[in-house]
Chain A
Amino acid sequence: AQRVTQPEKLLSVFKGAPVELKCNYSYSGSPELFWYVQYSRQRLQLLLRHISRESIKGFTADLNKGETSFHLKKPFAQEEDSAMYYCALTPSGGYQKVTFGTGTKLQVIP
């Protein structure tokens, strides 16, 4: 069975500082990985997925199969980045559920 671990419940950084939200996964096959974000009083929404290799709102995430990690990074945090971030995994090949981590609350201090 697949598992997603986000070790930090809360991450506080100062505005302008680099951000790294950690995500580790366990899955024996080739997973698809996602980051979802939930801003205050808004719906949970997709931030980025590893197969698109895009940078969204300055965030990037690289899949490291050796370390089974998919950490989310941003070089300079902004106040509007304060939100709840969830890492998620789907086994490739379909027909299996999406597994979410427990989430990390990012607090950017002005």
Chain B
Amino acid sequence: KAGVTQTPRYLIKTRGQQVTLSCSPISGHRSVSWYQQTPGQGLQFLFEYFSETQRNKGNFPGRFSGRQFSNSRSEMNVSTLELGDSALYLCASSLQGWDEQYFGPGTRLTVT
């Protein structure tokens, strides 16, 4: 079956702008989690959606938000971008949320 897909793969934005990233999970997976990956901090959990509801949330400011649609596709939005938001944003899907995570290729966001 098709893996997790993320669009776009690369994005360059300037400070103050906003950005929306998209994630399509594996068919049948109801949980989608988002992570920020940086060389210094590793994988940091942003939030998890399950059946269109945010079930878990990490310690990120309110500028980071997300949603999940009825087909389980998820979007993540970052408003008022800062230089420190430059990172690889990974999404992962799973059947239940606490089981094996299947990761997408990531979206590389660069903020200038």
Contact = CB atoms under 8 A, between A and B. Distances in A.
Interface of A: 32, 34, 36, 43-46, 49, 86, 88, 90-91, 94-103
Contact of B98 (A96, A100, A101): A96
A102 B45 contact: no
A100 B42 contact: yes
Contacts of A100: 35, 42-43, 45
Interface of B: 3, 33, 35, 41-43, 45, 48, 55-56, 58, 90, 92, 96-106
A86 B97 contact: no
Nearest to B48: A97
A77 to B, nearest CB: 22
Given A43-B105, A44-B90, A98-B33, A103 B98 contact: no
Contact of A46 (B3, B41, B101): B101
A100 B99 CA distance: 13
